[in-house]
Amino acid sequence: MDEVEDVEIGPCLNSRYLRLQRVHFTQNGARKYWDFMKTHDSVSILIFNTTRECFILVKQFRPAVYMCECARQGMLPDDETTADDSSQLGKLLPASAGITYELCSGIVDKPGLSLQQIAKEEVLEECGYDVPVESLQKITSYSFFGLSLKCFSTLLAVALKSSLCCCQTSLDATGVITLTSSPDRRI
């Protein structure tokens, strides 16, 4: 997790996660266009462990966060560069620049499953907790750049811990952390 190596930048010609599109429209008599990205909706789960009296968060390396931070530091080629030339990349930031602490989350990409069932699978995959679907209560939903995000909450006890661990089941999770309500809340 401490080192990112062999970084290559290239065009994203085909992705199952996002698609860049352009919409053309007339607004108040003026012809306009706007670029947008089509992607999956998602679920997030706010997990509170009642036994330990703490929130459960997921610590993950996010390549997009990492690359944006490298760009902010001037370590990437100009946006106008279209070549797939990774030789322009010098020394980049440590992997810690791409670490996030976030709610357990996942994209809605499983036809036939309810949002609660997808949320249940994400809690098991990322955190190792096998929560009952009935324990997942919708607390809010919101839109962000056109995406629909649904947020659920669940209360759990340590006894619900599965034999699976996030490191065994999830490719992007690097750890599960707890956030207590104590005055010393360092992550």
Q: Is the pLDDT of residue 89 over 50?
A: yes
φ, ψ at 149 (rounded to 5°): -115, 130
Contact status, residue 147 vs residue 42, Cβ threshold 8 Å: yes
CATH entry, 40-75+93-180, from 3.40.50.970, 2.60.40.1250, 3.90.650.10, 3.90.79.10? 3.90.79.10
Alpha carbon distance 169, 149 (integer Å)? 23
Q: Is the pLDDT of residue 86 over 60?
A: no
Alpha carbon distance 61, 113 (integer Å)? 27
Position 102 confidence tier, pLDDT thresholds 50, 70, 90 = very high
The amino acid present at 115, given as its one-letter code, is L
- CA dist 8 to 70, 83, 86, 95, 152, Å? 13, 11, 5, 15, 37
Alpha carbon distance 150, 97 (integer Å)? 27
Alpha carbon distance 32, 25 (integer Å)? 5
Handedness of CA 7, 20, 78, 93 (dihedral sign): negative
φ, ψ at 18 (rounded to 5°): -150, 155
pLDDT at 157: 64
Q: Is the pLDDT of residue 107 over 70?
A: yes
Q: What is the pLDDT of residues 123-178, one digit of tens each?
A: 999 998 999 999 999 998 888 777 787 888 887 765 455 444 433 334 455 688 88
pLDDT at 161: 54
pLDDT at 25: 97
Q: What are the boundaries of each domain within the chain? A: 40-75+93-180
Q: What is the mean pLDDT of the chain?
A: 82
The amino acid present at 21, given as its one-letter code, is Q
Using DSSP bridges, classify how beta strands 42-49 and 147-156 pair: parallel, antiparallel or unpaired: parallel
Position 118 confidence tier, pLDDT thresholds 50, 70, 90 = very high
